[in-house]
Amino acid sequence: MNSYEGKSFNVITYGCQMNVHESEKIRGILASLGMLEIDDAEKADVVVFNTCCIREGAEDRAYNNIMALRNSKKLNPNKVLVMCGCMPQQKNGKYNLKEKLPFVDIIIGTYNINQLAQYLLMFAVKHKQIIEIVNRATGNMDSGYCIRDDKINAYVNIIYGCNKFCTYCIVPYVRGREISRPMADIYNEVKNLVQNEGYKYITLLGQNVNSYGKDLKEQTTFAELLTELCQIEGDFKIKFMTSHPMDFGDDLIKVMKKENKVAKALHLPVQSGSSRILAKMNRHYDIKHYMSIIKKVKHAIPNISLSTDIIVGFPGETEKDFNKTLKLLKKVKYDQVFAFMYSKRTGTPAAEFEEQIDEKEKNLRVNKLLRLQKIIQKEQTKKFFKKTFDCLIQQINGVAVGITDGGKEIYIPNYKFVNQNYFAKVKVEEIRNHKLSGVINER
């Protein structure tokens, strides 16, 4: 029996899917100590803030929310507060955490979250604040514990860190260089999730999944990993994020085309339609290269669902550069675009660049871009007509719906449910008000 057994915990997550999955592991670690999860941070005995610093807003929110718990800590001095993740890992961050958060009991970074149980046990003995930020991983980054809420889609880490150093991004500074997980570990985790836990989608995670394997002793590639995972028996599909155009090879396109178990959806961040801005971003590719990938992918998999990330208003972005981004959108016709206004990140080269674009202009540009994308997306709906898609059949509000690999919903009227959460082919027969409906065909 340890001093945490029977106590309650609450985990608060900020940021990307990597952090969401990291929090699933944190919940697993806390449950392994015999603790019970509750959703009230005020009442919980242990509260973990898993932080993000990719944008200033996420940092502010985490900081303000942890400050707001100061009172409940005063009322319950035995309450344990933990801050972990990207914020503490950052050198010269916006907040001097050591100075500002003396009431937070444990502050750790991104590399030692897997050792959270040890830190908690240590704190229970010494009752002294622990601040431990390490700059490299020691041993396996995985604790082996994980509690997933989602019962359909499971995140699985395949590579940690990033070697790319885009000039706007803090990730390489807080997550370090690339560390790939051994293929056998990933294989066993996916096999267990599919065959014992019934997961339908496995989403492989990494800051740059295409770089997978380069750092392993027995070098391998992401395409080889996908091929291997597709050998696992079961009715499931594999998604992955995020891809980097520089490392996106033809071998991957071949595997995506050949393997039914690889979802026909691709998120390929472009960030800007101007090669001049891409060079300033240190993205290692130009628009010609990016478009050559899109062309090959569309040729190999005509019904693929494409999505991207775009940063609007990067320092030095002229009207002409921005128009090139709009042009790119019209050309590629993405199914989904995630557009962000550039925001300065202290510690990154772009924060020091001259020609910062003012907020009003960034706002105008991002709205213009989103308006255009809305029109494109509506137009895109037409491409579904009379086409057949491999869908996950689910029951939503009592109605059968087929979900495509790209997340599009196809309603299946008059379908009698015998089963759900299985894959079937669905043919789109009608489009009304941009809503799709269709019939199930055999797979």
Residue 164 Cβ, how far from ligand SF4 at the closest point, in Å? 4
| Rg of the Cα atoms in the chain | 23
Residue 274 Cβ, how far from ligand SF4 at the closest point, in Å? 17
Residue type, 244: H
What is the Cα–Cα distance from 367 to 370, expressed in whole angstroms?
5
The residue written with tokens 């709205």 in the block is: 367
Host H or E run for residue 311: strand 305-312
Of the residues 203, 207, 210, 348, which one makes contact with ligand SF4 according to CB under 6 A: 207
| HSE toward the beta carbon, residue 439, CA cutoff 13 A | 4
SS (H, E, C) 223-267: HHHHHHHCCCCCCCEEEEECCCHHHCCHHHHHHHHHCCCECCEEE
Question: Which residue's CB is nearer to ligand SF4, number 164 or number 427?
Answer: 164
* Burial class of residue 358, CB neighbours in 10 A (0-12, 13-18, 19+): exposed
Residue 166 touching ligand SF4 (CB under 6 A) = yes
Of the residues 165, 385, 417, 422, which one makes contact with ligand SF4 according to CB under 6 A: 165
DSSP one-letter code for 271? B
Which range binds ligand SF4 by CB under 6 A, 83-91, 164-172, 178-186, 311-319?
Answer: 164-172
The number of angstroms, rounded, from the C-alpha of 253 to the middle of its chain's C-alpha atoms is 21
Which range binds ligand SF4 by CB under 6 A, 158-166, 247-255, 297-305, 406-414?
Answer: 158-166
Residue 422 touching ligand SF4 (CB under 6 A) = no
What is the Cα–Cα distance from 172 to 166, expressed in whole angstroms?
9
Which range binds ligand SF4 by CB under 6 A, 169-177, 229-237, 353-361, 417-425?
Answer: 169-177
Residue 169 Cβ, how far from ligand SF4 at the closest point, in Å? 3
Which range binds ligand SF4 by CB under 6 A, 165-173, 224-232, 364-372, 388-396?
Answer: 165-173
Residue 172 Cβ, how far from ligand SF4 at the closest point, in Å? 5
What is the Cα–Cα distance from 224 to 215, expressed in whole angstroms?
14
Which residues in 145-182 are b (16+ Cβ under 10 Å) and which e?
bbbbeeeeebbbbbbbbbebebbbbbbbbbbbebbbbe
Residue 244 touching ligand SF4 (CB under 6 A) = yes
Question: Which residue's CB is nearer to ligand SF4, number 26 or number 166?
Answer: 166
Which range binds ligand SF4 by CB under 6 A, 3-11, 157-165, 250-258, 272-280?
Answer: 157-165
Of the residues 171, 205, 265, 337, which one makes contact with ligand SF4 according to CB under 6 A: 171
E strands along 97-231, which residues? 106-108, 130-132, 153-157, 159-160, 179-180, 201-205
- Number of residues near ligand SF4 (by CB under 6 A): 10
Which range binds ligand SF4 by CB under 6 A, 135-143, 162-170, 298-306, 428-436?
Answer: 162-170
Question: Which residue's CB is nearer to ligand SF4, number 95 or number 173?
Answer: 173
Residue 289 Cβ, how far from ligand SF4 at the closest point, in Å? 15
237 has which bridge partners?
Answer: 201
Question: Which residue's CB is nearer to ligand SF4, number 165 or number 338?
Answer: 165
Question: Which residue's CB is nearer to ligand SF4, number 271 or number 437?
Answer: 271
Question: Which residue's CB is nearer to ligand SF4, number 83 or number 171?
Answer: 171
Of the residues 162, 266, 294, 350, which one makes contact with ligand SF4 according to CB under 6 A: 162
Of the residues 55, 61, 94, 164, which one makes contact with ligand SF4 according to CB under 6 A: 164
Question: Which residue's CB is nearer to ligand SF4, number 169 or number 255?
Answer: 169
Could you tell me which residues come within 8 angstroms of residue 18 by beta carbon, excluding any fewer than 6 positions away? 157, 205, 207
Residue 268 touching ligand SF4 (CB under 6 A) = no
Query: One symbol per residue from 41 to 80: x for binding ligand SF4 (CB under 6 A), - otherwise; what is it?
Result: ----------------------------------------
* Burial class of residue 91, CB neighbours in 10 A (0-12, 13-18, 19+): exposed
What is the Cα–Cα distance from 338 to 340, expressed in whole angstroms?
7
Q: Which two tokens stand for residue 149?
A: 């809420």
Residue 169 touching ligand SF4 (CB under 6 A) = yes
Q: Are 186 and 156 in contact (CB under 8 A)?
A: yes
Question: Which residue's CB is nearer to ligand SF4, number 269 or number 402?
Answer: 269
Residue 357 Cβ, how far from ligand SF4 at the closest point, in Å? 19
Residue 208 touching ligand SF4 (CB under 6 A) = yes
What is the Cα–Cα distance from 158 to 183, expressed in whole angstroms?
8
What is the Cα–Cα distance from 198 to 437, expressed in whole angstroms?
27
* Chain residues in the site for ligand SF4 (CB under 6 A): 162, 164-166, 169, 171-172, 207-208, 244
